[in-house]
Structure 1
Amino acid sequence: MRPVAGRSELDLFCRLPYVLNDELDDDLASGRRRPEWMWMALRGDRLVARLAWWAPRAGEPPALLDILDLDDAAPGPAILDAGVRLFQTASAVVLPEGARPPEYNAFIPPRWRDDAEERRAVENRMAVLERTGARPLVERLRLEWRPGAPVAEPSGRLHFRPVAGREELVALMTLVLDGTLDAHSRADIARMPAEQAAAEHYDDELAHYRSPREWWRIATSPEGEPVGFVIPARNEYNPMIAYIGVLPAHRGNGYIDDLLAEGTRILAGQGVPRIRAATDVGNVPMARAFLRAGYEVIGRRIDMTWSEGGAE
């Protein structure tokens, strides 16, 4: 069990298939990954398990464990043991002692429960991390809009204007957290005040997008009262709907469709090849809004977390 020696071992590391394999070279070049964060379990020259952490920016510590793969042709108990040992060995080197490990994200097929082999592969990976103390947090839908899909015309019910600045957006984000159906947001406000959770989300994520802030929109009623907001943006990989929310006092009026249509129009107007988005499976109103707006489900994501105090 060892980390890769460098980019020269990417072919070896990628012998196990996964949707992120094509991004690894660019991630290494940009510093979002480091060779010492990419570990392999080898039996001779056969790759039996691998894992890798990722950071949003060069120079930052690992923020996600987003690769954990097993040789699914290997016997069940033996390969699970290998996965557990690999995680424990790599974590002891990469992560601070006693620290809470970064969240685990797994991209999986949209109907993974309907295929016996896919289901076994997903459940095996989850079982490895459950043996280290991780627990499922949420399952999410991954969605995509492509050129040619419909883009709704403005309904005229709302007016849109750019975001005035950080203070305004954080204040609206704080209000949106009241009654949220998003599992990550619910976990955040269980640990900290809503205003702090909103501010950290802005500072840790939204503030770092390189796409124009002029794309961000506040929706208002004809009287000028804020109703909600939408954050169309582009990260290092894709154009996306980064955040969208309706204020509690205005929920139940279908305004989410107006907000999503505005965000989609802004990105589509840039000639982008696709727009990505995600929402919790349990957030049924948001999922339905994406489908109405012409987005298609391209996959799912399972997120797992550890409790404070680190892995077992």
Structure 2
Amino acid sequence: MTDLVVRPLVAGEEKLFESMPDPLPQLRKVGYADGLASGGYRPEHTWVALRAGRVVGRAAWVLPPGAVGEPWLERFDLDAEPETGAALLRAAHEALGGPKLYHATMPAYWRRRPQERAVVEPPMAAARLAGLVEGGERLRLSWTGEPVPATAGRYPIRPAADAAEINALVARIADPEVLTGREVALAVGGVDLATEPLSWLTGPPGDWRVALRGGEPVGLAGTAGDACYPLLAYLGLLDEDARGELLADAVRVLAEGGAREVVADVDAHRVAVVADLERTGFRRLRSRITFAPATG
């Protein structure tokens, strides 16, 4: 690595960042130039590793304007050995005031596909060498117009009455199953979607759906049709058997409102939830593994 140069970008070097071919073009992502224009990406938060003038590693931390948290690593591509990526990360971490979260995004079935594994494993190895600790994996799924399955009607579903009813149910649901955009809500607004979703999801209470059993609420789904795209933002249950009917109802409500796509994020270890989402017509878009600074 004697000829390696690691440094941040300076204004006007967008083309240098983009000179490295996208190794995973099938993944949806905000273009670097668009991110600069919106203020989320900044040259001083963007680092490159160069050999003989060629970009062999690039990393872009993002922080939207007005965010209350710290920047997180959103783009990290490597066309070199993990040690080079680790050198890039260490230099950037020192300049940024310490290690930051890294959300490693990859195709949904990357473990089954050797070509994709060859792309995503070196940056993750570099993150470990730089002292970041691998955490949980989350899946993003998307419904794009598949027929919603018919339900047995065992659980009547109605709109939430008001914010008080939503908050009361949220307080009873210890571990919500779907929290879409949880990482962004925490970094940008300082909001934990699991405990205070109405601080982030500002639509009308009627966008929330309540599943009933014997007249009593046993499930809550928060739909957001006016966010950056339609999404199933929250799903929490007091009766797991209500999951399928509540999912189908939430998708139907969004589709009737004009949604052509609905996205949902779920922890990968929730096998039953993923299966019910797929039965409702969702398909896996991506996987995301979070690496966090070591503690202690």
- Residue aligned with 1:36, SS: strand
In structure 1, the residue matched to 2:207 is 215
Change (3 A) 1:44 1:237: farther
Residue 13 of structure 2 aligns to a residue whose secondary structure is helix
For normalisation by structure 1, the TM-score amounts to 0.77
- Normalized per residue, the structure richer in strand is 2
Q: Does 1:5 align with 2:10?
A: yes
What is the TM-score with the length of structure 2 in the denominator? 0.80
2:233 counterpart of 1:242: yes
Instruction: Return the offset for 1:58.
Output: 3.4
Deviation at 1:210, TM superposition (A): 5.7
Question: For this pair of structures, how many residues does the alignment match?
Answer: 277
Kindly indicate whether residue 136 of structure 2 is the aligned counterpart of residue 169 of structure 1. no
Q: CA deviation at 1:80?
A: 1.5
1:271 partner SS: coil
User: By how many angstroms is 1:83 displaced?
Assistant: 0.8
Corresponding residue for residue 187 of structure 1: none
Alignment of 1:193-208 (within 5 A): 200-201=192-193, 207-208=199-200
From 60, 67, 70, the counterpart of 1:52: 60
**Preserved CA contact (<8 Å) 2:178 2:265:** no
**What amino acid does structure 2 have at the position aligned with 1:120?**
A
Unaligned ranges ≥5, structure 1: 184-198
TM alignment of 1:18-33, pairs within 5 A: 18=24, 19=27, 21-33=29-41
Shift of 1:203: 7.9
State the identity %.
32
The equivalences for 1:257-268 within 5 A come to 257-268=244-255
Cα pair distance change 1:40/1:58, threshold 3 Å: farther
SS in 2 for 1:34: strand
Aligned to 2:186: none
- Cα 1:246/1:28, change in 2 over 3 Å: same
Q: Tell me which residue corresponds to 1:123.
A: 121
Gaps of 5+ in 2: 1-5, 180-190
CA contact (8 A) 1:221 1:227 kept: yes
Contact 2:61 2:73 in 1 (8 A): yes
Q: In the alignment, is residue 114 of structure 1 matched against residue 112 of structure 2?
A: yes
Preserved CA contact (<8 Å) 1:16 1:69: no
